[in-house]
Structure 1
Amino acid sequence: MSIDIALYDGHPNGGRRTGPRMLHLSSPGEALTIALARHTDPARHRLGRIDPYGDTLFDEQDAGAAFEEATALLARCTTEAERAAVRELRNLLAECAATPGSRLEFLGD
């Protein structure tokens, strides 16, 4: 089971005639799913809301708040694969937070 991450310049299926433009697609693999499952709490962390079986959307405000959570998550990772996946996640969160109107879509299995 893995989570893919798509960064859009607007809301996916947001009603624009041309639709949002995908800026980046990442496939960090199962390592991100494992790291999120081990180290996040859905009641306390935005990252814990990411559904490994469905789709989850973050807007730029969610991404900005989740960036600090991802930094803490990186320190708790136990394998290089997990660390690489969380570093990729942090990069996408930072890019989304810095791009007004952008969205991150987490695509679960």
Structure 2
Amino acid sequence: MGIDLQLHNSRPQWPRRHSRRKPTVVRQSHEHGAALAQLIAELPANTSGKLWMVDPYNDTVFNEQQAAVALGEIPDLLDRCTDNSHTEAVRDLATYLNDCATTPGSYLVFVGD
């Protein structure tokens, strides 16, 4: 199980057969999926944050406002890290959240297994 990250420059459009729409993916990360999934799965549910809502089995989409709220959860997530793989996963997530939060019209997709 893992969670990959995709930063989109507009509303995500998944390829369809014979589609003429341009891809919206700006960049993606597959490196830290397992560590990120493990950390997010351990977050307490029903909090005021956003990251606990990420579904490790399905895609979860954050807009720029949701990414900005989730960015505030990074210090707590870093405190939960137990090894370097977790720390690197959170730093990667922080970069994606920050880029989404500061780019009008962008979306961050958490791609679950």
* 1:35 pairs with one of 16, 39, 50: 39
Larger radius of gyration: 2
Residue in structure 2 matched with residue 50 of structure 1 by the alignment: 54
Q: Which runs of 5+ in 2 are unaligned?
A: 15-19
The answer to whether the 8 A contact 1:9-1:20 is kept is no
- Please give the secondary structure, in 2, of the residue aligned with 1:73: helix
TM-score normalised by L of structure 1: 0.90
How far apart, in 1, do the equivalents of 2:4 and 2:105 lie? 20
In terms of fraction of residues, the more helix-rich structure is 1
Change in 2 beyond 3 A, CA 1:42/1:11: farther
Aligned CA-pair RMSD: 1.5
Residue in structure 2 matched with residue 81 of structure 1 by the alignment: 85
- Please give the secondary structure, in 2, of the residue aligned with 1:100: coil
Runs of 4+ in 1 over 6 A off after TM superposition: none
Q: Matched residue pairs, number?
A: 106
* 1:26 pairs with one of 29, 49, 52: 29
How far apart, in 2, do the equivalents of 1:103 and 1:51 lie? 16
The answer to whether the 8 A contact 2:45-2:53 is kept is yes
Indicate the percent of aligned positions where both proteins have the same amino acid.
42
